[in-house]
Each structure stands twice: as C-alpha cells, then as structure tokens.
Structure 1
Amino acid sequence: MALHVVAARTDPALFRLPWSRPLADWEDWYVVPLPLGLSRHVVRVVQVNRQFIAVKETAEPIALREYHLLRDLQRLDQPAVVPRGVVTGRVSGSGEPLPAALLTEHLHYSLPYRTLFQRGLRAEQVPALVDALVVLLVRLHLAGFFWGDVSLSNALFRRSAGGFSAFLVDAETGELRSHLSDAMREHDVTVGVENIFAELMDLQASGDTDIDVDGQEVVAQLADRYHALWDELTAAEEFGTDEWYRVEQRIARLNDLGFDVDELDVQTDSDRVRIQPKVVEAGHHRRELRELTGLVAEDSQARKLLNDLAAYTAHFGYDDEDRETVARRWLTTIYTPIVALLPPELRRAIAPAEYFHEVMEHRWALSDEAGHEVDIFDSARDYVANVLPHRPPDQPGPATVPEGG
C-alpha cells in the first residue's frame, strides 16, 4: 500500500514525517509540546517548515469527511481550524495497516479550556468563556452547520480583549446543511449543556482548577444566552409606520453584537411594518478595523482598537478629517510604536492586538492609582517590564524541532 496525501497545500516536508509508526510512538524530535485538549483520538502537534500542524489519527472515511467539512467551513469564513490534508495508506515496518491522519493548522495563540483553568482562569471569567462558545455555536448554526457534539473539549479559545473567542477544532460529528431545523439546533444546545456540565464536574474532580464553578448555573447560562442571541439575530420585529427609525436601531444593535445585516426582509401594510434579518454575518468590527488600518484582530479586540482610535480622534481634534487618514496616523504614531516595545523573546507569548488591549487596561489601572492620566508609552514599558513576564503565554516559545521535521 502506497502512502497517499490529500492536501490543500502540498509540502514535501510532510513526507519526511515517520508515517510508518503509530502517532503515539513519535519521538520528541518531531513533536512540539503544545497544550492539547482531551480527545478520543491520538493527537500530536508537529512542526513542518515553521508551521505547527496538529495530526490526529482516525479512520480513513472519517478523516476525509472531516477534512472536506472543515474546508467547507473555511470557505464560509467560519471560526474553525484550517485543514491541511489527510494522510492515508500508512503501514508499519512489519506491514500492519495504520490509521489515517487528519492534518490541521495549529491555531496561533489558542488554548484548550483545561489549560485556561490550569493557568489561573478566574471565576468571573467563566461566563466570558461560555459566551464565546455561545457565539461560536450561533455562528455555526447560522451557516447551516449541525455540530452534533458541542463541548468545551471540541473548541479552542483565544483571549480577546478581556474575553475569549472560540473556534471549532473537532468537526467529526458535524454536518453542513442549507438550513437547520429548530429541532437540530435545540439538539446541539441540549448536548452542549450535558457535555459542558460533565466537563466542569470532571475539571473540579481532577483538581485542575481551584475555583468553585457552579455547573448548573453555567449550563443554564449557556442555554439562555444562546436563545437570546439567536432571537436578536433572527427574530421578526413589528412596529408602526411612523417608527422607521427602529430599523436603524435594530441594525445598530446587531452591529454592537459584532454582526452585519447582509439582507433584511421588510413587509408593510397600511399601518404596520415587519422586519426580519434574513442574512447576518459576524465580524463587523473586525472588517471595519481591517478596512481602516489593515490590522487583523478578533472582533472584541477590533472593537477596543476602534474605540481607542475614536478617543485618539477626539483628543487631537481630528473629527473633521477623513477617517482613513486619521486611522493611518493612529497606526503609525500609536499602535505600531506600542507593539514595537515588545521584546523579541516575548512576541510569541501574546497576540499583538491582545497585547495592545492589555496595555490600555494597564494604563487605566496606573492612571487610577496615580490620580492622573499616565502616558500610554510609559504604561506600555511598565506592562512589558512588570506584567508580561509573569503572564502565562498564549503561544509556545521558539520550537527546537528542525525544519522539515
């Protein structure tokens, strides 16, 4: 049986990995010691030409199906890991067949939920973690994706402006349809409630967290917030013909939640108007920031950066100037110099947009303590010197694995 690689981008270095050995037996020479979530499969992260790749052993039909499903989600711009390929035709040195391997790109600056808890996640941050999973589930449902196995273990989390962003990491049980029924959506919510309650109980039983988590309260919050967000994004709204301003109000509320309205169904009769969002798309703040500055950030981070841009505009009296021009000035005089203060050895520990947000938070704390506004560059230097070295990194340091594995 010949080794066969189906890949979105073929990299010859992939063929130099020890595919004739079970993944569990790969030496440290190949494996990058990154935090991994719980999985029913053997999973390892390897380095291939400076790129971290997650390798998961599974049955060939399952690997191929998940690979194509992840590619479909990527085309739909959904928050999921990026598929790189599937390796089949693996045999051991003695001729025994080995499982197929699904390859996905490791999501930079992301962590499994257990690692977040182990690294000192505070009790007041747990609702933000749940909110991130709710937003992920709603986004996937809007795209017609039935998850089938909603859980904290099947997602990865990035820190995002004091909260989190969640990404689908395991699509093995998923299914993409043109439309999801209410029953399928409720099934996902019910499974999520059951799985997450069990995960939180196991987390406390294992001693991986020191905080007391009320599992019942957390899963009730998940269901409530899912239904509230789904209704805000999709429910119809009626009002009088003299209240057309409520259309703009509805769109503004969705923008505040980070969504754009791509299509709105409007029906009128003699004295009533009925509106219903038909197509909504996440990433409102992320797209606005990218268009203004070229920066790529999570939506919550982008919103905070846009707020700082607005404060910069007001502080220097640039309100009458072209917004793109002011954004470029803010980028070159504030954002880029602040990011440049990160020492090279710490640049892998935190995403630039998250670092800038944390510097702003640190500045507010220093200003409150001092009783006057502290300069943002002084705040950044103090943060880099006194806070960042003690902050758990979101990304590993430089790998020692040679290029090509």
Structure 2
Amino acid sequence: MSLAASFAEPQVAERVEVGLGARAYDILIGPGLLASAGERIAALGARTVGVVTDENVARLHLATVERSLAAAGLGFSTVTVPAGEPSKSFGRLSEVVDGLLAARIERGDVVLALGGGVVGDLAGFAAAILRRGVRCVQAPTSLLAQVDSSVGGKTGINSVRGKNLIGAFHQPSLVLADVDALDTLPPRELRAGYAEVVKYGLIDDPAFFAWLEARPRAAFEPGQDRIRAIATSCRAKAAVVARDEHETGDRALLNLGHTFGHALEADVAYDGARLIHGEGVAIGMAMAFRFSVSLGLCPPEDAARVERHLEAVGLPTSPKAIPGGVGSADVLFGHMQQDKKVSRGRLTFILARGIGRSFVAKDVDPAAALAFLKRELA
C-alpha cells in the first residue's frame, strides 16, 4: 500500500472510497455528519433503522441522530448496551440481535452502529448474522473507530481465549465520521485513537509519520489538520482493504502492534481502567520495533524515535506502564498463540526494518519471542 502524501490543502470535509466493486462504499469525514445521517441513510433505500449504541454515546449523540432519522421519514428503534470492551460478548450480541428482530429490521433495512470500536464491532457482527445479513452503516464517534475499526468490514466479539476471535467480514454500506463527535471524547480516548493514526505512518509512509511528528497536536484539536490526519489514515486502510479484503495477504500489516497489544488486553481481562485498545496498540508497536531491533532488523534509532513520539503525546510504550502490571512472559506468550494470525501453529509477527518499512514475518523463532517477552517484563 502507499500512503504517499500529497499534503495539499484539504477541504473542510473529505470523501474516501473503499473500492470493492459492486460493494464499494464511501467514508465521509467532516463536521455535522450525525445531524445529516437520516437523509444519507434514506438515500440507501432503507425503510427502518436499528440503532445500536452504548450508554455514554447515547447520552451525547443519540438525540441528534434520532431527530435526523425522523426528519428523513425513517422508522427507527434503539438498542443500547453498556459502554466498554465487555460488551463484545455472546450475551450482549444475543441482546442486540433480539432487539433488532423485535424492531422488525428486514434485509432491506439498515443497522446503524453509533459509537466507538466496541459498538462498531458488535453492531456490525449483529448485522452480518441478522436474517443472514442486513446492511450496516457505521457512525464512529471515537478517533480509533474513525481511522480503523469502522473501515474494512471486520466485525466480531471477544472470547475468554482472546480478542476478536469470533466474527465475520461484513462491509458497511457507508461510514459517517463526524469529527465534531471527537470533541466530546476524554483525552485518554483521543490519545488511544491516535495510536492507530501513527500506525499508518509506521507501516509504509514515513512522510506521514514525519508530518505527525511535526504536528503532534494534529489529531487532538479541531481543524483541518485533524481532518487531514483522519482522511490519510482512511485512505491507507481503504487501499489495503480493496486489495486484500479478507486478510489473506498484506492486510495483516494493519495489525502492527496488535499481536503484542491483544495479548496485553487479554492479560488484563479487557479491564478498560487498566488498559484500553489503543494503549495496547501503542505498547505493541513500540515492542514490535524493539523486537525488530533485537533480531537485527531495525536501526535502534528508529525504535527510539517511535517511542519518543508516542510518549510525547502521552501514550505508554512498555508493558510495565500498565497499572497493576501483567502476568508472566509465559502467560503472555500463551495469549499470543491464540492470535488470529496464527497459521499452522506458528505465530505471525508484523516487524519493521525501519520507520515506514514494516513487513509480515512468519518465520520468527518462538524461543526468540519468548526471550524478548522475558526481557520486556524483567
């Protein structure tokens, strides 16, 4: 993929196409999109909308969306789940599906995922299995969801054995990334989402990483720099999804930092007070670069540069930064062995030869990985 940046002056709102032939869809990025959600969903030909959201997002944004749906002449009902990673469970999935069936959502209708990554994954999975598949519109309200989880059709829930191990690929029909919603996020959530923005520069766009280094507040404050950062991230992911929809090839690169990060999340039992997803990704990316250095693949100064930037925006870079600590290296390694990218019992790592030079590594010595974990936790 290429994120080669023409950093031309952006417009106030951006449109990014995910090119999947007959299933292509747009990502709209800009202000005021929640208030126009009704007319945009009506244009898809829906009659009724099943809104899935969480308690925090409902308090902030549900009234705006419901007014918009009503103004567009759409019927709607809402299923609200508790906020947080524990809602990505079989129990909550059953509640959501039952609520949508009770609302008589048909195949021609739309499920609207209004919220962050948890709601997007949960509602998207519900849409994938409801009546063997109904359309879904993603309305991501967190930075992490706007640049990552709402794009590309990966939906799912967690298992006690690992994160996102149960799910389906189900592409949305539209993504509405309302940047105004980011102004309601706690600083910690914004920082966590920023980890996924940085990731795109570290994968294969050193120019984007340098642009972010020069503007460390770009994604944190309202304005055109924020829109540019989100649009660049979405274009990067859209290009990969168009080439590798079902993650059989280089889409695995998008998991930079996730093999380590998911293991850390599983280790703390998805306790958001201790670690949220973007923080796990930040630690995981720093670990991936340090692991690459230990294998003689990456210049130490590149790994140090990654750590400096993450720390400069307030993100953790070591497992030792997690409140309460984590389990042993052997326990973490066990979590990693449940990673979705495991193939024929072998771990797949996303490693780096430098900033913007990440690659998929399928031949890493497990003993070297375990020894690295032991050094990280020492």
Task: Tell me if TM exceeds 0.5.
Answer: no
Task: Return the structure number with greater helix share.
Answer: 2
- TM-score normalised per structure 1: 0.26
Instruction: Give the greater-gyration-radius structure (CA).
Output: 1
- TM-score normalised per structure 2: 0.27
